[in-house]
Amino acid sequence: MPKKARGGTDTAGLLAYLFGPGRRDEHTDPHVVAGWDGVVMGAGQAGGLSVADLALLMDAPVRARAGRPLKEHVWHVPVRNPPEDRLLSDAEWARVAREMVDAAGIAPAGDLEGCRWVAVRHADDHIHIVATLVRQDLRLPRIKGDILRMHQVARRLEAEWGLRPLVSGDGTAKKWPKTGELEKGQRRGLGESARAVLHRTVRAAAAAASSEEDFFARLAAAGVRVRQRVAPDGAVTGYSVALVGDRDQERRAVYFSGARLAADLSLPRVRERWQGRGPGTAQGWAEAEQLVRAASRRLGAGAWRRGPGRSRPSGI
């Protein structure tokens, strides 16, 4: 179950605690199971990035962003299994972490400019996901409702892996497949409901698309049926999708609107992904990248002498 923890402004201090022995030597074999870049695998281990260097890399976009400083730029969510569940492997925890940061809006799948994040495992039954809240294109992520969407991921993985179901009154159950949908998906050999397949396909298309036309073209290329809702003035006001071959008892195609798949997949919300995207041009992206690299170099000049922060975050 994911649970939002206190964030703050001390990335180095939080990482030092997570990689350290714990308050009562309860941390065993702290290591990274997943992160925004392959270079972070092995961080904190012999021959890998030091914890101080990892914090510098994660903080670089925060330091590179001009304008009003953030009150808190550290995002921290532990994800824990109850003791009666089986132990998950590092690979399974890595999948949990990737799907959680995707759902939360920290690092959407297919978005190479998302926030920098790592998932640290220092016990058998849980991981800690830590991110810094400035994207690599220097924009701020959209994370409102993050924990509710992470609970949705938890429910899906619990069902897939036969784990204890999460109990939560978040009011989002209506967006999840009903028993009949699951049974129909199993009869078709999908292993999951049509709604789940469409949710994943639409989210991937939305993350990768650069325009509305590109979004609908990607959906069509993925092999799903697309139906646009057009107003009298010709403006497209919404859309719905269906899997080829998924039909009701009347042999009609079963369509789901974007909003029925997830609140952030409605057409107005999807449009936000490519409207007002900051730099917007190849030159702009290059300039943003140079700002991040320059900040990394500036931070590195003194950080190797200082070493990782020593303060311990409270409430963990």
The pLDDT score that the predictor gives to residue 305 is 37
DSSP count for the chain of H helices, then E strands: 10, 7
Nearest to 154 by CA among 129, 180, 118, 130: 129
State the pLDDT at residue 300: 58
Q: What is the mean pLDDT of each run of 10 residues along the chain (316 residues)?
A: 82 93 86 91 85 93 83 93 86 96 95 95 94 94 91 90 67 42 50 81 88 92 93 92 86 90 85 60 61 68 41 38
Instruction: Give SS3 for 55.
Output: helix
Whole-number pLDDT of residue 136:
93
Q: Residue 253 gets which letter from DSSP?
A: B
What does the block give as tokens for 12? 């180095």
Q: What is the pLDDT of residue 128?
A: 96
**So what's the pLDDT on residue 52?**
92
Residue 105: name the closest of 72, 133, 70, 64 by CA. 133
Per the CB < 8 A criterion, the answer to whether 219 and 201 are in contact is: yes
Cβ burial, residue 245 (10 Å; 0-12/13-18/19+) = exposed
Phi/psi region, residue 211 (left: phi>0; alpha: psi -120 to 50; beta: rest), is beta
Question: What pLDDT was estimated at residue 129?
Answer: 97
Beta strands in the chain (DSSP E): 31-35, 74-80, 115-123, 126-135, 224-230, 236-243, 256-257
